[in-house]
Structure 1
Amino acid sequence: MRKHTKLLPARGMGLPLTFSLAVLLAGFYTLLCLWIQPNSLRSALSLFLAEPLLIVLNALPIGLLIVAFALLFANVFFSAALVGTLCGILSIANRIKIEVRNEPLFPRDLGLLKEATSAAGSYDIRFPWSAIAVVVISCALLVALGVFFRGRPLSPERPIWTRFLLRFLGAASTLGVLAGLIFTVYASNSLYNAFPVSNPYYVPSVFNELGFPYCFTHHFTTYTVDKPVGFSRAAAEAWDKGEQASGQGAPVNVIMVMNEAFSDVTDQPMFTYPAEENPLKNLHAIRESAHSVSGHVVVPGFAGGTANTEFDVLTGMQTNALSATTTSAFRAVNRNLDSLYRVFSADGYATSFLHPGDAWFYNRENVYDFFGAEEIEFAEDMQNLQYKGRWVTDDSLASLIEENFESAVSAGKPLFNYTTTIQNHMSYTTDKYGADYAYPPVQTSIPLSDEAKALLSVYIEGARDADAMLGRLTDYFAARSEPVMLVFLGDHLPYLGDNQLAYKELGINLTPEENGSAGFLKSYETPYVIWANDAAAQTLDWTATVAALDLPTDGTISASFLGATVLELTGRGNETPWFQFLNQLRRTAYPVVQKETVVLPDGTVTTLDALDQSGQELLSKWRCWSYYKLKYKDIS
């Protein structure tokens, strides 16, 4: 018989050489990922040399994947070709996403391939062809090497199935180690936040500086949305396809102003301001107006979390119910969502969002696009801004709201506007408005430490300016013939010192971490007032419409119900099944739901565990419906 021989026989490699090559190839692809990033490789490496742990954190996931597949395939080159191609594709996608949307690639984005493909045509994408070429060429070279060099069989004296089982167990063990690291070392926020970066709040910059492989792996455990128990996509789709009735509301202009850290803390009895000097004199006057309704909203966070309140108000979902770990609702948003913007847009409104801060902060530039806002303006887009210290003044922003309104009137459209201010943002140190700024003294009936006085004097100066903004806007819209409804609210209570220092000295007992305690809900309550000018009050039949809201006696509701309440006031409460459900939930069951604490319509405070079956089912429906919107609902 004629014998067949291989012209180019593959050569076997032992485990030591295989692992050594895995380390070298992991290093190569780590460098490639860093090179693909939209920043200088040299600047990234300079930080890595100063923080050598970053080298390990970036290379380790790549190395473990190469080892796992090398064991499975019995070929380190085939493994590296697969892993390297995957890393290259993800790095290129990260670069494109940063350049197009000013946001890096997160693991959760991998479930949105269909949405990403359909949206790609909306952007002018500049593909990094040199990076693509390097990824393709390196992959081809590794495949070629894998043809000629392969790993030596493990225990060649054993049967084939035994050898395959050993390879499989080795690969599974390696992947298990990687999974364990993802949920321990890579999940550590303290480690992630310990590395020095130029701007910890600008996520694309953090990715560029700490390395895409490390940051991407870290975010496997962040910004998650938990699947509620009992979730049924079919059931949620059925709820969402209920009767739609767009165009039924009155064409009233709606202006919503969420003022940074706005609170009525100075209404506490220990403050002794005379009426003419009261920091909130405009709020008090408007509360007494026959054309207003007021109370408090229970917001998601204490002393922070502005964007979470925006999310709750505009979508009707609850930040605190999304996940056991979610701290930023806006970072959990990566698809088009139902919101107040879409309801008003469907009724022919001009819609806008104004915020005199950075577009990238909280990823607002993308989220408001997902909400459906037509016009989105940040500080970089605004003209003639006025500053107090380094903060854009509330008065300056009031001018922009008025200009925005007049522009809509000129275009013949009613306006829905949501504005988030920034002036009274912390920190409340005496140099906030300049080293020589003279703050009016705090007037209280009890003695305070110098530190508490300083915090309060700076904060109250900002609250005074916020109240002046409220007064200016009501005066302006009161003089207009167009119907206008103004909604003014706070996003969270102010941060007044470590461990609630100023609150404690004032005798205000806040316990934001003690769910169900006396001071728990008070830790999250900020004031709101809804006011209508004469034209709007007449158009909406104000007295009867407000009475039909069936608000609690003290007007306290969760922030998630405020948007739906606004829709009901303008005659749009039934335009979508979602917001109709929210108004029914607020009216008939639970006006306040905050973490594990629930308030009944009669004011009784209870807990989730104490609710009967029907109550549990209502809240479950809210959670499941929210999950469907965040994960599955398609909105073109």
Structure 2
Amino acid sequence: MLKKKGFLKIFGMILWLGTPVLSFLLLETLTHSVPEDMEWPLIFLNLVFYYLFYGLILVISKRSWVSISLGSLLVMAVGLVNYYVISFRSVPVYPWDIFSIKTAASVSENYDYRLDKDARVILAGFLVLILAGLFTRWKLEIRNCQYHILSVLVMVLGITLYGTSVQTPALHKKVGFYEYLFTPNAYYQLNGFAASFISNMQYLQISKPGNYSAEKAEELLKAGAGGTEELPEQKPNVIVVMNEAFSDPAVLGGFETNVDYMPFIRSLTENTVKGNAYVSVKGGNTANSEFEFLTGDSMAYLPAGSIPYQQYIRGAMPTLVSQFHSMGYETSFIHPYRANGWNRRNIYNYFGMDHSYFKESFTDAPILREYTTDLATYQKIVDIYNAKPEGQPVFVFDVTMQNHSSYSREYENFVPDVEVYGGANDRLLERYLSLIKVSDASFEKLVEYFSKVDEPTVILMFGDHQPADWVVQPVYGLNGSAGAEGLSVEAEQKRYEVPFVLWANYDIEEDYIETTSLNYLSTLLVEKAGLPLSPWQNYLKNLSESYPAITANAWMDDEGKWHSNTAQNITGEKDGGNLNDYRILNYYHLFDGAHRDDHLFE
């Protein structure tokens, strides 16, 4: 009996010593190959955390089976969450994703949670580790309560020091830390999940730019202000549709289909401005596209993967909504889904929206797959227009839901009718393109309706992002490419390109804009609608001449060359300072409400 107890104790010690290494390997292998991707200094850096983590549980419980089994269960849970998040939105888990739990839960039932073969093997490995831990009998002999508390505090201090160290540039340089936040998958794969996640925690709070002052921000805005413009005698109604996942995968490479999936928008030319807008997200995080469009700010100066709606906006701030309100418009927001998604109910109150219509306003609306159709939201726009007093201009911002992922399930109320010729594993792409075709036809009906009304009306539609990587993978295959990994900066930005179309029911000058980004698009809208620009929009208009596109991932110079965002080139150290001025104005607008002059944005 004593020999058995001794064996179990030794077994427990050996297993405990090996468990941090095994759990590290299992978690990382869920998403990539550790030997190929990670250098030894970074492997050791991650292992330090795992030993501290398992050590903390050990000193709290004083039992090896609790440390091994509970610790491995928690690591497995984190690994699975990261696996699914990468599968669903093509980027890993960030510290600020904790703020998105409600939003993720609201659409969670629409995804496919089946694990691939390799993931099932790794999951089995975790379960074996957890079960093996239950049979260990090693105990820490800490009988004195004061020593027990002291040992726990020492481990907590160790984890705290580790977290602080992992966020320092000196350690990053020493271990060869991969610094490029704009490529999150590579960031996590090369640095390891634990080190990456903890390093990203430093971005939960945003610090002022080094040479920031509210006075300088005001000088920049006043210097860029144009002459005073008067409001037109008859202000046009302005309708904006940010269409869920609306994009044209053909920008990634050519492919043939049995039918055109965007025939109306391609044919629309009269009184129309079309073009390509670059966004900061793909596969998800819709709210960031809303944020850039409505504020004119850029995600370039915020942590990769952060959500301003949930993290940074805590009160009233001037936006496109308040600008239209100040011009006498009645403002309405439409989103046929839950109001708690991305904190939208609070956000649109902060923005000064007069009316907001969420899922409860669409109880009897038609459904395609599991989401309210684009056409149902367009009918709500028509209802808002018909209910207003004659001559009262309206601004309506409609965020649709019809094309939301996932595209893996079959539905009785949705039969895909777009076929891709010659592709492999193109079932998801065909379903996606079939939804785009429905959106195109619905938009045609919206344009047809307002082409017959007497009041001048401008309609802008743009996509919030492209779908996740696995949906468009067949396009790369058809063009002889392995996928979106390893592309040039220019080619990589194609994954962030979406179409926009601006149409008016009266004479406007037709145009095609090859390149812009969402932070500029609302300025273009106001200008094309014949309305006065704010000092902020005049600044953005001037900035766009030197930098036609700025996103979280890259920026384009006036010669049409893309530059990846790094701490050096996005803050102006390599471009003469204009991008640093823009960074100052972003901070002034988003974070310095106490000193901000809201009139400069209206």
TM-score bracket for this pair, using the shorter chain length: 0.5 to 0.7
Q: Whole-Å Cα distance in 1 between the matches of residues 389 and 480 of structure 2?
A: 48
Which of 306, 316, 322 is the matching residue for 2:286? 306
Which of 212, 215, 222 is the matching residue for 1:234? 215
1:387 aligns with 2:367: yes
Residues matched between the structures, number: 422
Aligned position for 1:401: 381
Aligned position for 2:467: 494
Flag the 1:497–1:246 CA change in 2: closer, same or farther, 3 A: same
Larger Rg: 1
Which of 420, 438, 459 is the matching residue for 2:415? 438
CA contact (8 A) 2:429 2:474 kept: yes
Q: How does 1:111-122 map to 2 (within 5 A)?
A: none
SS in 2 for 1:343: helix
1:469 aligns with 2:424: no
Q: Whole-Å Cα distance in 2 between the matches of residues 570 and 270 of structure 1?
A: 36
Alignment-mate amino acid for residue 231 of structure 2: Q
Aligned position for 2:490: 518
Q: Whole-Å Cα distance in 2 between the matches of residues 293 and 624 of structure 1?
A: 31
Flag the 1:511–1:561 CA change in 2: closer, same or farther, 3 A: farther
SS in 1 for 2:324: helix
1:596: how far off?
A: 5.8
- Choose 299-308 or 483-492, whichever is displaced more: 299-308
Aligned position for 2:537: 579
SS in 2 for 1:345: helix
**Deviation sequence 1:73-129 (CA, Å, 0-9, x none):** xxxxxxxxxxxxxxxxxxxxxxxxx9xxx99xxxxxxxxxxxxxxxxxxxxxxxxxx
1:352 aligns with 2:343: no
**Deviation sequence 1:270-327 (CA, Å, 0-9, x none):** 2144xxx4221111111x22x001111100112222111111111111123223x442
Aligned position for 2:499: 527
- Choose 416-425 or 601-610, whichever is displaced more: 601-610
1:438: how far off?
A: 3.2
Flag the 1:504–1:567 CA change in 2: closer, same or farther, 3 A: same
CA contact (8 A) 1:386 1:393 kept: yes
1:184: how far off?
A: 8.9
1:341 aligns with 2:300: no
Q: Whole-Å Cα distance in 1 between the matches of residues 352 and 486 of structure 2?
A: 37
Q: Whole-Å Cα distance in 2 between the matches of residues 530 and 423 of structure 1?
A: 21
1:248 aligns with 2:225: no
Flag the 1:473–1:329 CA change in 2: closer, same or farther, 3 A: same
Aligned position for 1:224: 205
Flag the 1:390–1:595 CA change in 2: closer, same or farther, 3 A: closer
Alignment-mate amino acid for residue 555 of structure 1: E
SS in 2 for 1:620: helix
CA contact (8 A) 2:257 2:420 kept: yes
SS in 2 for 1:255: strand
SS in 2 for 1:518: helix
- 5+ residue gaps in structure 1? 1-50, 58-97, 104-151, 153-169, 187-216, 548-552
1:220: how far off?
A: 6.7
1:593 aligns with 2:550: yes
1:382: how far off?
A: 3.3
1:392: how far off?
A: 0.7
Aligned position for 1:504: 476
CA contact (8 A) 2:466 2:496 kept: yes
Alignment-mate amino acid for residue 372 of structure 1: G
Aligned position for 1:26: none
Give the CA RMSD over aligned residues.
Answer: 4.0
Which of 296, 302, 310 is the matching residue for 1:331? 310
Flag the 1:294–1:437 CA change in 2: closer, same or farther, 3 A: closer
SS in 1 for 2:441: helix
Aligned position for 1:569: 528
CA contact (8 A) 2:476 2:483 kept: no
Aligned position for 1:415: 394
1:281 aligns with 2:239: no
TM-score, length-scaled by structure 2 = 0.62
TM-score, length-scaled by structure 1 = 0.59
**Deviation sequence 1:581-614 (CA, Å, 0-9, x none):** 001111x211112346332344344466679879
CA contact (8 A) 1:239 1:577 kept: no
SS in 2 for 1:410: coil
Alignment-mate amino acid for residue 377 of structure 1: Y
Flag the 1:510–1:395 CA change in 2: closer, same or farther, 3 A: farther
Alignment-mate amino acid for residue 315 of structure 2: R
Q: Whole-Å Cα distance in 2 between the matches of residues 345 and 510 of structure 1?
A: 49
CA contact (8 A) 2:239 2:397 kept: yes
SS in 2 for 1:356: coil
- 5+ residue gaps in structure 2? 1-68, 76-98, 104-145, 168-197
Q: Whole-Å Cα distance in 2 between the matches of residues 532 and 317 of structure 1?
A: 26
Flag the 1:176–1:610 CA change in 2: closer, same or farther, 3 A: closer
CA contact (8 A) 1:262 1:492 kept: yes
Larger RCO: 1 or 2 (CA < 8 Å, sep 6+): 2
Alignment-mate amino acid for residue 270 of structure 1: F
CA contact (8 A) 2:255 2:475 kept: no
**Deviation sequence 1:115-161 (CA, Å, 0-9, x none):** xxxxxxxxxxxxxxxxxxxxxxxxxxxxxxxxxxxxx9xxxxxxxxx
Flag the 1:614–1:472 CA change in 2: closer, same or farther, 3 A: same
CA contact (8 A) 1:247 1:347 kept: no
1:518: how far off?
A: 3.5
**Deviation sequence 1:444-477 (CA, Å, 0-9, x none):** 2xx222x32x112211121011101210111011
Q: Whole-Å Cα distance in 1 between the matches of residues 155 and 250 of structure 2?
A: 59
CA contact (8 A) 2:294 2:320 kept: yes
Flag the 1:502–1:223 CA change in 2: closer, same or farther, 3 A: farther
SS in 1 for 2:395: strand
CA contact (8 A) 1:266 1:279 kept: no
Which of 571, 582, 592 is the matching residue for 1:632? 592
Aligned position for 1:258: 242
Q: How does 1:37-436 map to 2 (within 5 A)?
A: 179-180=160-161, 221=202, 223-240=204-221, 248=231, 251-265=235-249, 269-273=254-258, 277-286=259-268, 288-289=269-270, 291-323=271-303, 325-332=304-311, 333-407=313-387, 409-410=388-389, 412-431=391-410, 433-434=411-412
1:241: how far off?
A: 6.1
Alignment-mate amino acid for residue 628 of structure 1: Y
1:504: how far off?
A: 2.2
SS in 2 for 1:413: coil
Alignment-mate amino acid for residue 216 of structure 2: A
CA contact (8 A) 1:511 1:519 kept: no
Flag the 1:322–1:578 CA change in 2: closer, same or farther, 3 A: same
- Choose 261-270 or 418-427, whichever is displaced more: 261-270
1:269: how far off?
A: 3.9
